[in-house]
Amino acid sequence: MKVWITGATGLCGRAVTKVLKENFDVTPTAFSRAQGDVFKLDLTSEVEVRAFFETHKPDALVHLAAERKPDICENQKDVTDSLNISATQRLAQLTKEFNCWFLYLSTDYVFDGSQPPYFPDSKANPLNYYGVSKLRGEEVTIEENSNAAVLRVPVLYGDVEELGESAITSIAKLLSSTSEAKVDHWATRFPTLVYDIAQVIEKMLLGKPAGIFHYSGEEAMTKYETAKIMAELLGIESGHLVAEPNQTGSALRPKNAQLDTAKLKDAGYYVKPTSLVSCIKDILSPHFQ
């Protein structure tokens, strides 16, 4: 099966590309970091994207590319719309035209976090523009290609190029200083390993389901609790970290957008999530030498 992966240079895309390469004929694409066997393709260019379809004729498209930094989404809505919505819509149209299965990766930020857990058919109500744009991306995907799948996932972590690349590993930056730091102890999050998502996507590629699915790590933790776990595993003193009971950050975020995964389990695409405690030391250690 020929599988096209967009966003292949990103946090999730690197893991998905690595895993899918083992069993599929993979064509990875990205933009500014594209090099080697990753093709450079600007998804906002209608002409380039159609030409790519005509040349490569993929059987499946795993669409991971997105603008996902909440502050950029809030302040550059045109840029965000052109990648998260318009490019997604064109890809959905083309997958329909070329009879190619389409998977769109989305986010728990489509929910407001006030009434967890959330099911695939729960009412969405995004609190920030990132969530708004990803929800609209879901809608255009399903409107344009009724055979497409949407996979919603929560905050991701995995092997990072630098600690700031993922919202989970960036917490570890607080451990390199000894100055008092307030850390969010308000929002509950479910860190999810990108290699687990890659395996879920691998299973979905074999079944090619349609509709919305949820996948999530199982461990609930605030940023403060995550920082304490990391400190203990790395053997770093963390007395300078202070639990902040109120919401922090500039863009509004959900308090607890826990995703219910029963539908994915029933469909046979679930994989047992890796425990953060079991792998975060290996992920962080290269950045603490």
Query: Contact with ligand NAP (CB under 6 A): which of 32, 55, 177, 289?
Result: 32
Q: What DSSP element (H or E) covers 173?
A: none
| Residue 139 binds ligand NAP, judged by CB under 6 A | no
Q: Which residues of 100-121 are buried (b: 16+ CB within 10 A; e: fewer)?
A: bbbbbbbbbbbbbbeebebebe
Write each residue from 92 to 131 as x if it is in contact with ligand NAP (CB under 6 A), else as -, in one continuous string: -------------x-x------------------------
| Residue 171 binds ligand NAP, judged by CB under 6 A | no
On whether the CB atoms of residues 207 and 60 are closer than 8 A, the answer is no
Query: Contact with ligand NAP (CB under 6 A): which of 4, 5, 9, 150?
Result: 9
Q: What DSSP element (H or E) covers 119?
A: none
CA distance 142 to 124: 15
Write each residue from 142 to 161 as x if it is in contact with ligand NAP (CB under 6 A), else as -, in one continuous string: -----------x-xx-----
| Residue 283 binds ligand NAP, judged by CB under 6 A | no
Q: How many residues does the chain have?
A: 289
Query: What are the beta bridge partners of residue 152?
Result: 106, 214
Query: Contact with ligand NAP (CB under 6 A): which of 25, 33, 119, 249?
Result: 33
On whether the CB atoms of residues 283 and 157 are closer than 8 A, the answer is yes
CB of 239 to ligand NAP, least distance (A): 29
Query: Contact with ligand NAP (CB under 6 A): which of 90, 134, 136, 263?
Result: 134
CB of 7 to ligand NAP, least distance (A): 3
CB of 79 to ligand NAP, least distance (A): 9
> What DSSP string runs through 178-242?
-S-EEEE-S-BB--EEHHHHHHHHHHHHHH---EEEE---S--B-HHHHHHHHHHHHT---TTEE
Q: Which is nearer to ligand NAP, 45 or 178 (CB)?
A: 45
| Residue 216 binds ligand NAP, judged by CB under 6 A | no
Whose CA is closest to 244, among 220, 221, 223, 219? 223
- 34-42, 54-62, 114-122, 261-269 -> range binding ligand NAP (CB under 6 A): 34-42
Query: What are the beta bridge partners of residue 241?
Result: 181
> Taking CB under 6 A as the criterion, which residues in 40-99 touch ligand NAP?
41-44, 64-66, 68, 83
> Taking CB under 6 A as the criterion, which residues in 242-271 touch ligand NAP?
none
CB of 208 to ligand NAP, least distance (A): 19
Q: Which is nearer to ligand NAP, 6 or 238 (CB)?
A: 6
Q: Which two tokens stand for residue 232?
A: 């203990």
Residues that bind ligand NAP (rule: CB under 6 A) add up to a total of 29
For residue 254, say if its preceding peptide bond is cis, omega within 30 degrees of 0: no
Token pair 């609790």 is at which residue? 225
Q: Which is nearer to ligand NAP, 8 or 183 (CB)?
A: 8
Query: What are the beta bridge partners of residue 105?
Result: 151
Give the footprint of ligand NAP on this chain (CB under 6 A).
Answer: 6-13, 30-34, 41-44, 64-66, 68, 83, 105, 107, 134, 153, 155-156, 167
